[in-house]
């Protein structure tokens, strides 16, 4: 089925419905009106602007592409990631920030998509980014690591996963990795070359006496799991890393090499010393 796009009288063309869905039609019309591109005679004549847009919005691959939208919360600075299978009208969101329910629902409506899963990399004992409202209103299943802190609410379904499980959205695969350390039941989600890792690089949580953080397990996660991935892997954290919202894994490997480059015991000892020194320094500094 094709959709007819009318620019002005006598200037209209048909574009496939595949191009039109997921808000792409709106972008085409805006480009036509601005003169940024001309109409195409058929689907094989894809002009540079449309080709660039297609590459950005629908990644190439054997399966259908996804629309990838980062979402940053204002209250907790948590960064979530919305993935939409534009052609099938399905979506998942990773670590949706508190206060973004209306925004996510609006984006889903714009793309005519249904949220099927809410993926949590970790849930703290005091969950400041509770996704209950989003699950209830969208009908999505909450996905979290088996044995993790449960959200006390009977209004939505909870799907507990283990490492090695593969989740699907459209024709794409999202792989579940076990990455404990920041909390005992942290997981990361690997989609193509993108790793949604939660707070696995938050070494500071081990140094401030966070009772959920475990330095030994975090060391094992980084050295034996995360850093086994290719250097070209794009890392998308739940909170920015030194101001960076995305980084190459190779860059992070070099950055954290000084801390993780020694033995496991040395890392645990250093984190233990920091837990002692930081409170002492805090007591020595004047208030304010």
Q: Measured between alpha carbons, how far is 258 from 161 in angstroms, rounded to an integer?
A: 33
Q: What is the mean pLDDT of residues 17-31?
A: 46
Enter the pTM of the model: 0.72
For residue 208, name the pLDDT band (cuts at 50, 70, 90).
Answer: low
Residue 95: what pLDDT?
95
Q: Measured between alpha carbons, how far is 50 from 196 in angstroms, rounded to an integer?
A: 28
Residue 65: what pLDDT?
57
9, 13, 2: which is closest to 39 by C-alpha? Answer: 13
Over the stretch 69-118, which tens digit does the pLDDT of each residue have?
999 988 888 999 999 998 889 999 999 998 999 999 999 999 999 999 99
Contact 90, 170 (CB under 8 A): yes
Residue 151: what pLDDT?
52
Please enumerate in sequence order all residues whose Cβ is within 8 A of that of 125, keeping only pairs 6 or more positions apart, or say none.
149, 212
Q: Measured between alpha carbons, how far is 69 from 113 in angstroms, rounded to an integer?
A: 13
Tokens coding 162 = 């283990």
Q: Measured between alpha carbons, how far is 27 from 139 in angstroms, rounded to an integer?
A: 29
| Angle between helix 264-284 and 215-224 (nearest 10) | 130
For 150-154, 160-164, 219-223, 227-231, which range has the lowest pLDDT when averaged over its residues? 150-154
Taking the mean position of all CA atoms in its chain, how far away is CA 247? 13
For 26-30, 85-89, 257-261, 269-273, which range has the lowest pLDDT when averaged over its residues? 26-30
Sheet order of strands, 67-72 included: 67-72, 79-85, 90-94, 114-119, 141-145, 158-161
């Amino acid at each position: 089925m094709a959709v007819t796009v009318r620019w002005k009288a006598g200037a209209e063309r048909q574009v496939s419905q595949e191009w039109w869905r997921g808000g792409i039609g709106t972008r085409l019309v805006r480009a036509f009106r601005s003169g940024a591109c001309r109409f195409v005679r058929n689907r094989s004549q894809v002009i540079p602007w449309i080709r660039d847009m297609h590459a950005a919005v629908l990644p190439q691959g054997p399966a259908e592409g996804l629309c990838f939208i980062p979402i940053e919360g204002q209250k907790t600075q948590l960064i979530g990631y919305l993935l939409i299978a534009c052609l099938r009208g399905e979506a998942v969101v990773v670590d949706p920030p508190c206060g973004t329910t209306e925004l996510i629902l609006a984006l889903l409506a714009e793309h005519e998509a249904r949220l099927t899963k809410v993926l949590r990399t970790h849930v703290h004992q005091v969950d400041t980014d509770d996704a209950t409202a989003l699950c209830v209103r969208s009908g999505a299943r909450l996905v979290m690591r088996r044995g993790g802190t449960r959200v006390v609410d009977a209004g939505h379904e909870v799907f507990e996963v283990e490492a090695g499980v593969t989740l699907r959205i459209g024709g794409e695969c999202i792989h579940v990795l076990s990455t404990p350390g920041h909390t005992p039941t942290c997981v990361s989600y690997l989609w193509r070359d993108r790793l949604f890792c939660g707070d696995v690089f938050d070494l500071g949580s081990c140094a401030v006496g966070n009772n959920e953080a475990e330095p030994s397990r975090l060391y094992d996660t980084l050295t034996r799991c995360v850093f086994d991935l290719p250097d070209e892997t794009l890392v998308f954290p739940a909170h920015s890393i030194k101001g960076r919202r995305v980084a190459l894994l190779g860059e992070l490997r070099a950055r954290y090499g000084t801390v993780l480059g020694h033995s496991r015991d040395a890392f645990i000892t250093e984190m233990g010393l920091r837990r002692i020194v930081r409170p002492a320094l805090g007591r020595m500094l004047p208030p304010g």
